[in-house]
Chains A and B, each alone.
Chain A
């Protein structure tokens, strides 16, 4: 498996080993990004940007969710809540300070992270299933709060005008694409860092057997809180550009059930134990949904997500990664 460097620090530091590990994925990502821009430009098809933005957003969401869900085994059903925190931070900023998008993303991440920490502190002592229900409860309570907060639009919602895009990008959709791409890279790098560090080993042990983990010296609550904060923060960050993407925000769109289910389904389908799983799940399932939405209907594409989730959970619980591993043979 991945026991190569169990004690690597969480933060990426500049030392020979660390840089080498991330050099290949980092360069690959930049190359893919440039290719992506070029391809989309050549197609010059506005929808391509929308589709890829959505898929990239799911890469961030699925990767972030998996840090708590897949690594630690605590299923967060309140994804919509954290996403909405990011969305509404952005809306609030739009109506007041009008800070540039990258700044808002950081702020949204910070707020969502703090809320994640707080919610985790209240709920992570509960047994797994109670935690999950509590997260759902939390999302609904948050939904109700935003429904009643008129400054950010309340139940009726608020319109958002896109500002000018920075010169480098040209059009605003390209800018959003670039921003979300950067976020996706960041999310994956963070997830990798967590996974290969002592934090990741600790979370994996918690997932395998929390009581045994505690008796082995693992401070379970602390590690879970760290995971919840990182996870929540990243999800919030993914929500910050959203208002500029859909240009009209109301609680129904922010607290989207589709987003909630997708965020859970993608890591499950892709594979829960490693950062690759959510990425694969997000790209495959996201692309599939875009195709079915356009060719058949959006309702049917939702049904597809549900069916795939149930099927994979029942028949291939290790996800696509697991299937590939077992095809390669027991040596893996």
Chain B
């Protein structure tokens, strides 16, 4: 499984990423790689810098030091929209749908802007396909204001999917969901992985992370303290300490 990944270059590589806010260093010299078609989990206690790191990867925040490469290209200075067009998509921790547009219109936006489709019929067809993939076909014309939590999370993933990404960063897509709902989202993510998308899963729900990830990276207080196979990482003493002390 993980053996053939080392043969290819990583699709995403972050080197010594550092970001400070005023006197507070949120992310401190983090190295991170994501292999082609790999499933990596990113965990850490609250405040460990995961969100800042994700925002750095997607271009929402400019980093102070370090570099980020996508498929060998340096994207450190690129704005979010360029990264989206290159193929990096994300879902947000707290869903941020376009509230004044319908579900299908939300899906159409990345198809129009990140991928660049022009034909309205083609756009609509692809949007419908994505809705089917994530199980929201029945909510096609609904407003996001009327969606349940789990449907909002699906919409987030759907919108990320609509960018036809190579890399998907799923930021806490399952927070606050019930067990069966967590499994629903997990199934969607497994399907996407099978389709060839490299996925970074940021989560607090351990069973989901362990089940999903081929490799787990642990951030604590802005630093990476572990990076390896799930079983290894979860029994790492520092990881236990970080979570018990939480």
Chain A interface (Cβ within 8 Å of chain B)? 1, 3, 5-7, 198, 201-202, 204-205, 207-209, 211-220, 273
Contacts and interface: CB of A to CB of B under 8 A. Distances in A.
B81 A214 contact: yes
Nearest to B114: A217
Contacts of A204: 98, 100-101
Most chain B beta-carbon neighbours within 10 Å: one of A1, A207, A208 = A208
A218 B101 CA distance: 15
For the residues of A in contact with B, the DSSP-based class is helix
Interface stretch (B27-35, B102-110, B213-221): B102-110
Given A204-B100, A214-B79, A215-B58, 12 more contacts: A1-B101, A3-B102, A3-B105, A3-B108, A7-B118, A7-B123, A208-B97, A215-B84, A215-B89, A216-B84, A216-B109, A218-B109
B interface residue count range (under 10 / 10 to 19 / 20 to 34 / 35 or more) = 35 or more
A204 B81 CA distance: 16
A6 B92 contact: no
A21 to B, nearest CB: 14
Contacts of A273: 100
A208 B90 CA distance: 17
Contacts of B37: none
B80 A214 contact: yes
A217 B96 contact: no
Interface string B37-62: 00000000000000000000011100
Nearest to B88: A215
A218 B84 CA distance: 9
Contact of A216 (B99, B100, B113, B120): B113
B99 A208 contact: yes
Contacts of A219: 79, 81, 113
Given A215-B58, A216-B163, A220-B81, A208 B100 contact: yes
B119 A218 contact: no
Contacts of A209: 96-99
Contacts of A202: 109, 112-113
Given A7-B119, A211-B60, A211-B96, A216 B110 contact: yes
A1 B109 contact: no
B126 interface: no
Interface string B55-93: 000111000000000000000000111001100011010
Contact of A7 (B79, B84, B96, B112): B112
Contacts of B100: 1, 204, 207-208, 273
A209 B101 CA distance: 11
Contact of B159 (A5, A211, A216, A220): A216
B115 interface: yes
Contact of B109 (A5, A205, A207, A220): A205
A201 B80 contact: no
Nearest to B80: A214
A124 B115 CA distance: 25
Pick the 8 closest A-B CB pairs, nearest first. A217-B114, A217-B113, A208-B98, A217-B84, A214-B80, A212-B96, A216-B110, A218-B113
A5 B118 CA distance: 10
A217 B101 contact: no
Contacts of A207: 100
A202 B96 CA distance: 15
B98 A6 contact: no
A156 to B, nearest CB: 48
Contacts of B114: 216-217
B115 A217 contact: yes
B123 A218 contact: no
A201 B123 CA distance: 14
